[in-house]
Amino acid sequence: MQTAEIRRRWLDYFGERGHTVVPSASLVSDDPTLLFTVAGMVPFVPYLTGLVPAPFSRATSVQKCIRTLDIEEVGKTPRHGTFFQMNGNFSFGDYFKEGAIGYAWELLTSSEADGGYGFDEKDLWVTVYKDDDEAVGYWRALGLPEERIQRLDKDTNYWHTGQAGPAGPCSEIFFDRGPAYGIDGGPATDDDRYVEIWNLVFMQYLISDVRGKTEFTIVKELPNKNIDTGMGLERVAFLKQGVQNFYEIDQVRPVLDRAAELSGRRYGADHEDDVRMRVIADHVRSSLMLMSDGVTPSNEGRGYILRRLMRRTVRAMRLLGVDAPSFPELFAASRDAMKDAYPEVERDYSRIAQSAIGEEETFLRTLAAGTTVLDLALNKTKAAASPQLAGDAAFLLHDTYGFPIDLTLEVAEEAGLTVDRAAFDALMAEQRARAKADAKAKKTALADLSVYGEFRAHGETVFTGYTSLQTESTIL
């Protein structure tokens, strides 16, 4: 089943059941506190929190999302993209737990001939919040055996924004890929074998005094309860297309294949190379979609994330043995795979390609300049009979030439030297502290990045995007 078909079936299913079909919002969220749209619910936040009365009681969408927090997972797990599409159905004071569970189960398990996704009931597991007997009751009533209903704690199965406001238990649906992929025991034990496909959030309570992900006070039951769900379109696509992962689906694989062709290496022959090809396929698609929503590469904020995605692509191509420009080929492959779902990527392609190709050329020049400086530093180190490149040399390369530390490490190793990583890290930490102090002084608008509660778990929200941006910059 092609990704487009899975999307169509979703919108048909919920459309036929009284949901207003809402087009995807931009990846650049309207919410000034968010860098990107990270979930299907983001455009609906004012309705879900009750700030603005919802113009409909039911809605559905296929929302473009970017999650930079997942960047380190990309290519390594079978299921994480930096760009992905979240299919959502939403109820604003209309149906609640029973309805949301019933719809999800029906769409997943109805036969393909009946318009469903045709999953075998026996392959599906669910998790519920441990005290949510009501949800357990609805799953049981649908015939799900006790052993495939797992009760988990607040850390995974409770949603809130991190602030006083709506909150409630979640129930997640997982697909079991079978014993060839990992150990028995359900979603709680293994997340490569049991792939999470759909999260149902039951916004049921008003909470206050939030002290952390799992500590808060329930004030009262909400008079108007809401439903927010998210199903990973690419995850269902990879499971329905009989491929191994997110990166092998129809919308992504052509880029991976192009990277393999350009490098003359075969996908499936070497684990490290496979990861690189998957990273390239993901990052090129994310960059294409970001640029199509108007983001341009720069040194801060959204533009910096885009720049990082593109530089990581160049870097991965280089590790595949390709030093020549490859963006013209890679971006064209991604455009062709995405243009049916998003015609704007074709319409705006000349603008997007120009920006991408320029960025690649600049970075290749940076790499070339950095290589000269690095060679000099390595020669100096050797001449001094030292086994270790000084940390400040590595830092200068990073800071002044934008030369990635892992590249420095790799080239040093080829020359039989190590790098004083501790000194480099100390200089990076100093720089981060300076940047944080600057950001604080500027009182940036990024006051709260955590409208989606999950991300609260990752630390002080004020600095969530900033910190991860800084840490990840060491990768470049």
Question: Footprint of ligand ATP on this chain (CB under 6 A)?
Answer: 67, 70, 79-81, 84, 86, 196-199, 230-232, 234-235, 454
Q: Which is nearer to ligand ATP, 58 or 79 (CB)?
A: 79
Please state the φ and ψ torsions of residue 87, each to the nearest 5 degrees: -85, 130
d(CA 59, CA 74): 30
Shortest approach of ligand ATP to residue 361 CB, angstroms?
Answer: 30
Residue 70's Cα: distance from chain center in Å? 5
Q: Which is nearer to ligand ATP, 63 or 263 (CB)?
A: 63
Shortest approach of Mg ion to residue 225 CB, angstroms?
Answer: 20
Shortest approach of ligand ATP to residue 85 CB, angstroms?
Answer: 8
Shortest approach of ligand ATP to residue 64 CB, angstroms?
Answer: 12
157 scored as a contact of Mg ion (CB under 5 A): no
Task: Give 324-328's long-range contacts (Cβ < 8 A, gap of 24+).
Answer: 325/357, 325/360, 325/361, 325/364, 326/259, 326/262, 326/360, 327/284, 327/353, 327/356, 327/357, 327/359, 327/360, 328/353, 328/357
Q: Which is nearer to Mg ion, 196 or 360 (CB)?
A: 196
Q: Which is nearer to ligand ATP, 197 or 397 (CB)?
A: 197
CB 288 within 8 A of CB 355: no
Q: Which option in Mg ion, ligand ATP, none does residue 174 bind, with CB closer than 5 to 8 A by kind?
A: none
473 scored as a contact of Mg ion (CB under 5 A): no
> Cβ contacts of residue 273 below 8 Å, gap of 6+?
263, 265, 267, 320
Burial zone of 56 (CB within 10 Å; 0-12 exposed, 13-18 middle, 19+ buried): middle
Shortest approach of ligand ATP to residue 406 CB, angstroms?
Answer: 23
Q: Which option in ligand ATP, Mg ion, none does residue 80 bind, with CB closer than 5 to 8 A by kind?
A: ligand ATP
The token duo for 331 is 């971006």
Q: Which option in Mg ion, ligand ATP, none does residue 86 bind, with CB closer than 5 to 8 A by kind?
A: ligand ATP
Q: Nearest residue by C-beta to ligand ATP?
A: 232
85 scored as a contact of Mg ion (CB under 5 A): no
Map the footprint of Mg ion across residues 187-216, applying CB under 5 A.
Answer: 196, 199
Single-letter amino acid code for the residue at 408: T
Helix (H, G, I), strand (E, B) or coil at 419: strand
Number of residues forming the site for Mg ion (CB under 5 A): 2
Q: Which option in Mg ion, ligand ATP, none does residue 235 bind, with CB closer than 5 to 8 A by kind?
A: ligand ATP
Q: Which option in Mg ion, ligand ATP, none does residue 197 bind, with CB closer than 5 to 8 A by kind?
A: ligand ATP
d(CA 188, CA 93): 31
Helix (H, G, I), strand (E, B) or coil at 224: strand
Where along the sequence are the contacts to Mg ion (CB under 5 A)?
196, 199
